[in-house]
Chains A and B, each alone.
Chain A
Amino acid sequence: MHGSSGSAVPAVAVEKLVKTFKTVEAVKGIDLVVHPGETFGFLGPNGAGKSTTIKILCTLADATSGSARVAGFDVATERDAVRRSIGLVFQEPTLDGYLTAEQNLKFHGELYGVDKSSAAQRRKDVLEMVGLWDRKDDLVQTFSGGMRRRLEIARGLLHSPKVLFLDEPTIGLDPQTRASIWQYLGELHKREEITVFVTTHYMDEAENCDRIAIIDQGRIVALDTPEALKAGVGKDRVSIATADDVAAITALKDKFGLEAKMVEGLVTFSVAEGAAFVPQLFEKLGVAIKSVAVARPTLDDVFLNFTGTSLRDAEQKGGFNPMAARFRGR
């Protein structure tokens, strides 16, 4: 955890935030406090209200009711103060491909009124941080998707924001590039005093956060550290390969009262303290066991636990996000 002291001004403080679009209630009363210096994840399916919330926090949309303060400033009444205090990396690219990497940063520095005497050094620092210093004079249109995203992160940091907002920063990127983006975000804390607020619908990415809020259908359904959330599920997943799967499923029900299912060719069930359960399993099951695997709960299980549906199913029936759909459709 990164220096989250209770006395400091919260990086983000949201109270009873509601956003209604005509007849649809996208955000249904969110309360949230993000401590200075933490990496805070906002996790949920597309259409859950993540992007709407982040837009309100970044002063790009007005709340219908409720209040939000970022770096101590009110998003409704102190717009420019909020904007000076935040860095933004959007889902959609916002670079000028006809400018070089460094020209994009220069443009940003002037728009944000970055002090001229230190601007050049700062540009070098942030470009080196994301590994693009040697490409600074190349036109951005020659960059790959991953390089562009890195450049956007560098640009978001250029004016030394207190809070960096990233809305689905890894959407549309391959797994390797996604991992490297998270590596840069992880290293950020070693170099800067900064709070990171990131939305994602990738469960594995949320593991990188200090704390996460799970949002579903406009409400926060859980908010804690990933470890605490997973511990809260209370059950491990046990998968066994047996000589007779049908007999094993029947025996699990009769002898242990457990509901088992076939998942990817293995008899699978959930049980508290899975590792401690395995000896009993060998002793009493009465069906030959070839192999056993015990898995600790994942954030997927957490999501399922709190919403009653898996994230993937929630995405399919949930709200429609055309941009995300376009990327996923590739």
Chain B
Amino acid sequence: MADTLTHTAIARVVVPKGGFGHELRATLVVWNRELIRFRRDPARVISSVIQPLLFLFVLGGGLSALVASGTGGVDFKTFLFPGVMSMSVLFTAAFAGISMVWDREFGFLREMLVAPVSTAAILTGKCLGGASVATLQAVIVILLAGLVGVPYDPLMILELLVLLFIMSFMITALGLVLASRVKQVQSAMPLVQMIITPLMFLSGALFPLSRLPAWLTVVTHINPMTYAVEPVRAVVFDRLNMSTEARAILDPGIWWGSYQVPLLLQVALVIASSLLLLLLAVKLFNRTE
């Protein structure tokens, strides 16, 4: 009986014993899924581009006359440009992380977590996916640079893409940490707003932090977004013809007491925060699912 049926038998496939190659494949496919879903959702792309446009041209345009005296002759829209870029990345990446709540609701999280791979491989893929999607959207904002007097310097664009990728990796990981705790789809978006909005306001994305009261300065110094936004601003401002006074007002840098934190250390802090948040997310997902 069995012999007569062998011709219909399906070729068995070999499932290897795991190891780094297998983990890497899992990471890559989770990453790829985020990109496929991004391509399938043009509404998401459009809406996430419109928000930064509003901030840059409506809020920026409206306030520029009001604050003209305090910016040392620099257009407020130009000042706002790196901040708005960071902001668009911030919301997209946070959403990419929190989307795990939807994956749980629709059961796909289970498909991922029952596979013979580590949770770390899956969540790393998710972070890379969120970072890619957010960085791709930032490209659209970068294309507007000319409209606010920022030159299209290839090296600047490259530096920006790297910095924004690291920033969005960190925020996606933060979104994952939140997603591990939130089980209700309805609570996910309000929670993102509640966490992300203060992170944005206290990061120096929309105004120089030097004007804040002292107690808030403490908060801005423990906000990892501060160290992610400042390099973006420095990279853009380095390409502008700006007086030293204007630069001092608009981009005072980050000071721990009398120590000015160098840009490379800021980037290192962001990378360290990313890894810590990712580790935390792995721990939380391992425990709760």
> Could you list which residues of chain A lie within 8 angstroms of chain B, going by C-beta atoms?
3, 58-60, 79-81, 83-84, 88, 90, 92-99, 103, 106-108, 110-115, 118-119, 121-122, 125-126, 129, 158-160, 190-192
Contacts of A60 in B (CB 8 A): 114
Q: Mark B10-36, 1 if CB is under 8 A from A, else 0.
A: 111111111001100110110001001
Q: Within the complex, what minimum Cβ distance (angstroms) separates B220 from chain A? A: 38
Q: Within the complex, what minimum Cβ distance (angstroms) separates A189 from chain B? A: 9
Contacts of B8 in A (CB 8 A): 190-191
> Could you list which residues of chain B lie within 8 angstroms of chain A, going by C-beta atoms?
2, 5, 8-18, 21-22, 25-26, 28-29, 33, 36-37, 40-41, 106-108, 110-112, 114-117
In contact, B15 and A95 (Cβ under 8 angstroms): no
In contact, A99 and B33 (Cβ under 8 angstroms): yes
In contact, B37 and A98 (Cβ under 8 angstroms): yes
In contact, A83 and B25 (Cβ under 8 angstroms): no
In contact, B15 and A84 (Cβ under 8 angstroms): yes
In contact, B116 and A112 (Cβ under 8 angstroms): yes
Q: Give Cα A38 to B111, complex, Å.
A: 25
In contact, B112 and A111 (Cβ under 8 angstroms): yes
In contact, B33 and A118 (Cβ under 8 angstroms): no
Query: Which of A96, A119, A190, A192 has the most chain B CB atoms closer than 10 A to its own CB?
Result: A96
- A58's partner among B16, B41, B106, B114 (CB-CB below 8 A) is B114
Q: Within the complex, what minimum Cβ distance (angstroms) separates A216 from chain B? A: 27
Contacts of B117 in A (CB 8 A): 80, 111, 113
Q: How many A-B residue pairs have CB under 8 A?
A: 110
Contacts A115-B16, A125-B11, A191-B10 hold; do A108 and B111 have CB atoms under 8 A apart? Answer: yes
Contacts of A192 in B (CB 8 A): 9-10, 12
Query: Which of B11, B13, B112, B114 has the most chain A CB atoms closer than 10 A to its own CB?
Result: B13
Q: Give Cα A276 to B193, complex, Å.
A: 76
Q: Give Cα A110 to B106, complex, Å.
A: 20
In contact, B112 and A191 (Cβ under 8 angstroms): no
Contacts of B12 in A (CB 8 A): 160, 192
Contacts of B111 in A (CB 8 A): 94-96, 107-108, 111
Q: Within the complex, what minimum Cβ distance (angstroms) separates A165 from chain B? A: 10
In contact, B36 and A125 (Cβ under 8 angstroms): no
In contact, A93 and B107 (Cβ under 8 angstroms): yes
Query: Which of B15, B21, B28 has the most chain A CB atoms closer than 10 A to its own CB?
Result: B15
Contacts of B5 in A (CB 8 A): 190-191
In contact, A113 and B25 (Cβ under 8 angstroms): yes
Q: Within the complex, what minimum Cβ distance (angstroms) separates B30 from chain A? A: 8
In contact, A118 and B37 (Cβ under 8 angstroms): no
Sample of 19 further A-B pairs with CB below 8 A, known A83-B116, A110-B28, A190-B5: A79-B116, A80-B18, A83-B114, A90-B107, A92-B107, A94-B111, A95-B108, A99-B37, A107-B29, A110-B25, A110-B29, A111-B25, A113-B26, A113-B116, A115-B16, A119-B13, A125-B11, A159-B15, A192-B12
Contacts A80-B18, A112-B115, A190-B5 hold; do A125 and B10 have CB atoms under 8 A apart? Answer: yes
- A111's partner among B10, B29, B40, B41 (CB-CB below 8 A) is B29
Contacts of B17 in A (CB 8 A): 84
Contacts A99-B33, A103-B36, A129-B10 hold; do A115 and B108 have CB atoms under 8 A apart? Answer: no
Contacts of A83 in B (CB 8 A): 114-116
Q: Give Cα A146 to B9, complex, Å.
A: 24
Contacts of A159 in B (CB 8 A): 13, 15
- A122's partner among B10, B28, B108 (CB-CB below 8 A) is B10
Contacts A119-B13, A192-B9, A192-B10 hold; do A95 and B107 have CB atoms under 8 A apart? Answer: yes
In contact, A113 and B10 (Cβ under 8 angstroms): no
Can you list 24 A-B contacts with CB-CB less than 8 angstroms, sorted by A residue number?
A81-B116, A83-B114, A84-B18, A84-B116, A94-B110, A96-B37, A108-B111, A110-B25, A111-B26, A111-B112, A112-B116, A113-B16, A115-B14, A118-B14, A119-B13, A121-B11, A122-B11, A122-B13, A126-B10, A159-B13, A159-B15, A160-B13, A192-B9, A192-B12
In contact, B18 and A90 (Cβ under 8 angstroms): no
Contacts A60-B114, A98-B40, A111-B26 hold; do A118 and B10 have CB atoms under 8 A apart? Answer: no
**What is the chain B residue whose CB lies nearest that of A128?**
B10
In contact, A114 and B10 (Cβ under 8 angstroms): no
Q: Give Cα A119 to B22, complex, Å.
A: 14
Q: Give Cα A106 to B30, complex, Å.
A: 11
Q: Within the complex, what minimum Cβ distance (angstroms) separates B115 from chain A? A: 4
In contact, B13 and A110 (Cβ under 8 angstroms): no
- B106's partner among A3, A96, A126 (CB-CB below 8 A) is A96
